[in-house]
Amino acid sequence: MTIRLAASIVIVCLYGHTLAAQAPPQLSRQQRETLLALVNGVDAAAQQPAIDDAQWQSHLMRASDGSHYVAFSVEPPASAPLPKGPALLYIRLATSNQQAAQRIAERSAIRDWLAGSRTDPRLLPRRGIAMGDMPIMGPTGNMNPIRQPTSTGLNEMRLLALERERTKKKQEEQEKQRRAELEGRAAATRELFPFEDFDLASQSVRGDARIITRALTAGPGEYDLYLAWADPAHGKPASTVRVLRKSLTLPPALTTGLSMGSVVFADSVLTRDLPYPPTEQASHPYSIGVMEITPARDSHYTRDDDLSVAFQIINASASDMGMPDLTVGFRIVRVSEGRESAVASLRPQQYNGTTLPPDFDLRQGHPVFAAVSAPLATLGRGDYRLKIAISDRLSGAATIADADFSVVGTIASLLAEAPPLGRPFSRDTILKPDALAPVVDLLAPASPSPQLARALALARDGKLVELLVEEPVAAGEAGIRSTLTGLALLPVAEASAVVQLQRGLQEGAPAGPAQHLIGAARAIQNRDADAIAAWETALATGRAPAGTRQLLVEALLRRGDSARAAAVVADTPRGGGSAEWTRLTAATHIAGGRFADAVAVLDAHRTTHPDDEDARWLLLHALFGEVASGGNRERFAAEARRYIDTQGRNSDLVAEWLRVVATS
């Protein structure tokens, strides 16, 4: 398996401390009224039982202050569609009702702002630095560094030192409390909702689907996440309010020990020239610095896709220069009935001073992100697991993670998995009594000698072992006798049979039946090209045994030559006539992509042969082919369910066909 790797390192903090430099948003009267309606709508929804019929997806990462960074997306249900244009969006994270009863009631900072009792609606971070760092000016950086000495200069210095000591202790206590909250050892106390945000013109789109994609930061706990929107283009925007609610559990943060964030299955992982500006970052939560991740809607891939994943490496140790020294390994295993079997190993990735930019510094909160991409063309349908192993050479720590995914079929790929339309050649095909009789009849001269007559009778009765005992025949019958010996050798030595049959031709045996048998010998040897040439020669004589055309068409189908197979079918006098030929005609139409023609032939055939299981399978195959070309899905689904209910021999494949039709 050939693997293509791609890795990206992001050197940004996962929260936007630039928010503090932005002015509070300015809203029109209608925007203020609509936003207030959204806040009220969420308040009302919080008092109702949760109804979660939307498709949510979330991924957990680590913000630079140690809290959780949760990137999430939601596809609203059909009952609550997003507006066609931009939506006015409101997001709220609230302590869950079960926990809130034991705490001070949380209130909305945005409601306070709309009421005029707050100058800024945003929950700005207390400081824009990584956990454990000190402010840029030191612990007294917020004090005036220039102070005029007084007459009691010594007392002033003592007071200053005391103030510094108190400030330091207060910061240490705050940091200790914050760490305890992040690690779940202490309950956070708050009067405001832990997270709120709004967007006046949200246009979150993924492909052709309207999907809201946002992010939030919060500490550990049990929460209710609310997502509400309204259509600002509506005449009465407040009447268009829709609210979604989702329970969210955030575990205690691991502030020490090597770990990983969520493994994000991605449609793509790209590197941008520049990060999104702060004004656009909120609607691109999976764009971390210059890395832009497009999360996949699920972990189901086709063989035409690349498996792409991205994840954050957390709590890596830093050298004296702030650099990590990490090795990340990847393996893909197949999972079947609970057992794993190795499929592929990917080249390990290194994250250290030789692979990272010179200004990378873990001590400044720079996160490490890894991404990998691998083509899936060589994997068959089934369930797989990506196994990730990370080792930290500086600390000796290691961590592992698994990410399950599956390779599924598309309509086109599943159609290609159908059993071959040209059946494998079998000796029995040529050696059955009803197949031997026409060959013998064409070999027999008008007045055979007694010796040749006995040999012909043995051949007609299928007594091929006895036929190997040769009696002398008349000189003019030598070619026929050699051909009969070649026929007798077909079950045991096809190479020797070919030699005898070619000898019979040289001695004057009828070319039609002799070439028919040579084609059979070549087909037994899996040399279909030579078999096709022999059968075409037999037909060209005008005296080929019955069944030669059928053998030729099946060989052409095995070779994938549907055009020549169709030409042979079209040239067949009176259409062949038999049920077997009718099925072969339909198979030729299917091989050539003429599914409607195949359906027409089989529908007519089944009116007189309703119990023909082979024809029933071919009809289902043709109907699925029509679906691949935009045909009648309803009829295919009905026929497929009947086929599965009666346990047709290809029921497992038909079930896959039915599933992909239902989901595509």
Alpha-carbon gap, residue 266 to 293, rounded angstroms: 6
List, for residues 598-616, the tens digit of each pLDDT value.
999 999 998 888 889 999 9
Contact 458, 471 (CB under 8 A): no
List, for residues 612-628, the tens digit of each pLDDT value.
999 999 999 999 999 88
Q: Does domain 259-401 have CATH number 2.60.40?
A: yes
Considering the segment(s) 576-664 as one domain, its CATH architecture is Alpha Horseshoe (1.25)
Alpha-carbon gap, residue 286 to 310, rounded angstroms: 10
- Calculate the alpha carbon distances from 418 to 180, 424, 636, 650 in Å: 60, 14, 15, 9
List, for residues 1-40, the tens digit of each pLDDT value.
333 222 333 333 343 444 445 677 789 999 999 999 999 9
Report, as an integer, the average pLDDT of 632-640: 91
From the list 204, 390, 363, 193, the residue with the least C-alpha distance to 287 is 204
**Could you count the other beta carbons within 10 Å of the beta carbon of residue 52?**
12
CATH topology of domain 419-560: 1.25.40
Which residue did the predictor score with more confidence, 148 or 449? 449
Contact 62, 261 (CB under 8 A): yes
Q: What is the pLDDT of residue 434?
A: 86
List, for residues 562-589, the tens digit of each pLDDT value.
999 999 988 887 655 688 888 999 999 9
Contact 620, 640 (CB under 8 A): yes
Domains in the chain: boundaries: 28-127+160-250, 259-401, 419-560, 576-664
pLDDT higher than threshold 50 for residue 152: no
In angstroms, what is the C-alpha Rg of the chain? 39
Complete DSSP assignment for 342-378 = EEEEEEEEEESTTTS-TT--GGGT--EEEEEEEE-TT
Q: What is the pLDDT of residue 417?
A: 81
List, for residues 100-144, the tens digit of each pLDDT value.
545 568 899 999 999 988 887 866 544 332 322 222 222 222 333
List, for residues 280-325, the tens digit of each pLDDT value.
777 788 888 788 888 988 899 988 889 999 999 999 999 999 999 9
Which residue did the predictor score with more confidence, 454 or 162? 454
- Partners of 268 in the β-ladder: 294
Identical fold between 259-401 and 419-560: no
The conformation of residue 325, written as its DSSP 8-state character, comes to: -
